[in-house]
Amino acid sequence: MSCAQSSCSPDSGERSACRQEPGRYWSGKTPDYCGFLSQGNPSENDKLAESFNDSRKNLTSLDDTGVVLIGRNEGERFRRALAAALRETTRVCYVDSGSTDDSVAHARAKGVEVVELDLSTPFTAARSRNAGFERLTTTCPDLKFVQFVDGDAELEPGWLAKARQSLIAQPDLAAAFGQRKERYPERSAYNLICDVEWDTPVGDALACGGDSMFRVSAFTQVNGFNPGLIAGEEPELCVRLRANGWRLLRMPGIMTHHDADMHTFSAWFKRMRRAGHAFAEGAAMHGRPPERHFVKPTLQAVFWGLALPIAIASLVALVGPWALILLAGYGVSTWRASQHTRAQGHDSRTAWIYGASCVFGKFAQIVGVLEYGLNRLRGRKTTLIEYKGAR
């Protein structure tokens, strides 16, 4: 490989220096290493060698492609994600956001270099991805493409080569992404909702998600993700990419297998609340014409989650219970959302579950919208909203 090996290895006694992740949104010295199989642990290399044999041809063609894997207390999900990444390439960097499980130890045991984020700065997925990108592209300057993967998602075999070919064939593409498929949609209605949400239309897109392959030059041109965003950082990045003339492509086929592992109303509510916060913050940043970024979903959250309930309650107090007929608006909206979902090929049960989530999720989203607004007035930043516990 062309990249220099680590001068700041886990055993070198310089771990504190390794934790100073660099980035164009912050200052810091770049550690001199990137993710490879450990040269100092032959037994581990032997164990991994078999899984690489079937992919060696692919590895040769992926020398200009790296993977940034981010995570926090993902447990078994992370182990599967790391194994899937290592089957595709050895250029893997894992960025850990203060895990208390054995994720860091497991990554190092597999020979993967690890960036441990500084605990004194608030964690965000955007900050993690920027740190991993900096590590790979600084120590491996020949990289042209970087695939980001969350620690609860596994790469589909062959996806890296497929996305890379699309980016090569279309020089104006900043990012390519495929379908994020939920691993266990049958285990809960909340997992099923995520599975429908990931199934976006194929073709040119306005935005991508966290699991996407980016062209290094495009990502660098706009200075990467905004690390101050606790959610919605991917669409915000895409706004800036499109403003600079780049395109985004949703490719056909599966890209990653995701494990939402969501089984409670509380977890779903937190996730929708986080979405509302992202909508409000995105609209505040890029809501002016012609982009109008996240203005529509913000206004929808305000109308369905706040304005309409207040109006109904006021009318009931003024003219009586007949005003409750306005509640039918929620039923009509749910029906419309379910019909749209059915038109995308989903069965009736799935369509009604997703439709109800779209409508009644506005009550959680308005909490996030108001939270952002109040914190902005107070000059405060909202802390990370996590819906998933350690596993």
HEC sequence for the chain: CCCCCCCCCCCCCCHHHHCCCCCCCCCCCCCCCCCCCCCCCHHHHHHHHHHHHCCHHHHHHCCCEEEEEEECCCCHHHHHHHHHHHHHCCCEEEEECCCCCCHHHHHHHCCCEEEECCCCCCCCHHHHHHHHHHHHHHHCCCCCEEEEEECCEEECCCHHHHHHHHHHHCCCEEEEEEEEEECCHHHCHHHHHHHHHHCCCCEECCCCCCCEEEEHHHHHHCCCCCCCCCCCHHHHHHHHHHHCCCEEEEEEEEEEEECCCCCCHHHHHHHHHHHHHHHHHHHHHHCCCCCCCCHHHHHHHHHHHHHHHHHHHHHHHHHCHHHHHHHHHHHHHHHHHHHHHHHCCCCHHHHHHHHHHHHHCHHHHHHHHHHHHHHHHHCCCCCCCCCCCCC
Contact 263, 188 (CB under 8 A): yes
Q: Give the residue-averaged pLDDT of 50-76.
A: 72
Answer whether 0.75 is exceeded by the pTM: yes
**Per-residue pLDDT for 7 more than 90?**
no
CA gap 155, 147 in Å, rounded: 10
70: phi then psi, degrees, rounded to nearest 5: -120, 150
pLDDT digits over 227-241, tens only?
999 999 999 999 999
Of residues 196 and 13, more confidently modeled: 196
Does 353 have pLDDT greater than 80?
yes
What's the mean pLDDT in 11-30?
36
Cα 159 to Cα 85, 137, 150, distances in angstroms: 10, 21, 15
Residue-wise pLDDT for 175-230, tens only, equals 999 999 999 999 999 999 999 999 999 999 999 999 999 999 999 999 999 999 99
Residue predicted with more confidence, 31 or 193: 193
What is the model's pLDDT at position 389? 62
* pLDDT range class, residue 3, cuts 50, 70, 90: low
Task: Extract the tokens encoding 285.
Answer: 């940043």
Both tokens of 316, joined, read 């009931």
Which pLDDT band holds residue 391 (cuts at 50, 70, 90)?
low
What does the block give as tokens for 162? 């497929």
Q: How many residues does the chain have?
A: 391
Of 45-59, 171-185, 260-274, 323-337, the poorest mean pLDDT is in: 45-59
> Picking from 23-37, 126-140, 377-391, which range would have the lowest pLDDT averaged per residue?
23-37
Given a contact cutoff of 8 angstroms between Cβ atoms, the answer to whether 142 and 64 are in contact is yes
Q: Is the pLDDT of residue 370 over 90?
A: yes
- In sequence order, the 6+-apart residues with CB closer than 8 A to the CB of 269 are 364
pLDDT tens digits for range 107-149: 999 988 899 999 888 889 999 999 999 999 988 899 999 999 9
The mean pLDDT value of the chain amounts to 86
Residue 73's pLDDT is 87
User: Tell me, what's the pLDDT at 52?
Assistant: 43
Q: Grade residue 387 by pLDDT with cuts at 50, 70 and 90.
A: confident
Full set of structural domains in the chain with CATH: 15-262 (3.90.550.10), 282-378 (no CATH)
pLDDT of residue 36 exceeding 60: no
Q: Is pLDDT larger for residue 50 or for residue 363?
A: 363
Cα torsion angle, 172, 174, 176, 177, sign: negative
- pLDDT tens-digit readout, 288-315: 999 999 999 999 999 999 999 999 999 9
